[in-house]
Amino acid sequence: MIRKLAMVGAIVTGVVALAAGTAFAHVEIERDGEVGADGVVAATLHVPNEKTNAGTVKVVLVFPDTPKLTVAEPEAVNGWTATVEKNAAGDVTQVTWTGGPLTGDAKVALPLKIGDVPAGVDTVTFKAVQTYDDGTAVSWIEPTPAGGAEPEHPAPVLTVRGPQPAGDAPATDHQATTTTKATSSDSSSTGTIIAIVVGIVIVAAIIFFFVSRSRRDKESPTA
């Protein structure tokens, strides 16, 4: 019986660890202040390391075709080198950061100025590709449907004008960090984890009850 309970406990622990490891990490971009009259806005790309056995060594932020943006000015970040690429028309196509490796559960904040965002454009959707030192890459390119569930690898969306999504605050730390900043999506993920754990505990209790009852029936003398 003790062995069975220990097995159930191990399963619960494993599920919690797996859910916690995947629920809180997204590549996100957020505004650091109000957009200027010239359409330039300060932003920060937040990159968490998601793998336990590999480190992030490259991050590519792919700029959209619409709206066309001509300004990308990355700030210096310790341990990382930024390269801006433009097409023949002078539009920014992508910004690439190389460095690290970013390991464990650390994050890195990559600040940059973006522009010039046309008047009337409130949000800009980017794509991002995160590469690890084991050669694997994760593409953050999936659109989040309005009112729908967030995909596994959502594309970073910059809110240029108007209120930022709940939980997004201007970044102040531009270095790799293991901060556990909470966001609204983190809260919903936490609720999901709690629901899963509660469900597993209930199932474990039911199993324990029936196993104990079965053992007592077998050990009780028959007429």
* pLDDT per position as a tens digit, 93-151: 999 999 989 998 899 999 999 999 999 999 999 999 999 999 999 999 999 888 778 88
CA separation for the pair 56, 58 (Å, rounded): 6
Beta bridge partners of 213: none
| CA separation for the pair 170, 32 (Å, rounded) | 4
What digits encode the pLDDT tens for the residues 39-48?
A: 999 999 999 9
Q: What is the pLDDT of residues 139-193, one digit of tens each?
A: 999 998 887 788 899 999 999 987 877 654 444 444 444 333 333 334 344 444 4
Q: Within this chain, do residues 112 and 209 fall inside the same structural domain, yes or no?
A: no
pLDDT band at 58 (very low <50, low <70, confident <90, very high): very high
Residues 162 and 184 occupy one common structural domain? no
Whether pTM exceeds 0.75: no
Query: Do 5 and 93 reside in the same domain of the chain?
Result: no
- Residues 220, 172, single domain; the answer is no
Q: Do 47 and 101 share a domain, yes or no?
A: yes
Helix H or strand E segment including 97: strand 92-102
> Which residue range(s) make up the domain with 214?
1-24+180-223
Do 93 and 124 belong together in one domain?
yes
Q: Are residues 141 and 105 in the same domain?
A: yes
Q: Please list the residues that pair with 60 across neighbouring strands.
A: 96, 129
- CA distance readout (Å), 47 to 40, 67, 123, 174: 22, 23, 20, 11
The total domain count for the chain is: 2
17-31 residue pLDDT tens? 443 333 447 899 999
Distances (CA, A) of 62 to 122, 127, 140: 18, 5, 10
Same-domain check for residues 157 and 189: no
Give me the residue label for tokens 């629920």. 23
Dig out the tokens for 97 from the structure.
Answer: 């950061």
Q: Do residues 123 and 41 both lie within one domain?
A: yes
Measuring CA to CA, how many Å separate 108 from each of 4, 22, 24, 176?
42, 17, 15, 4
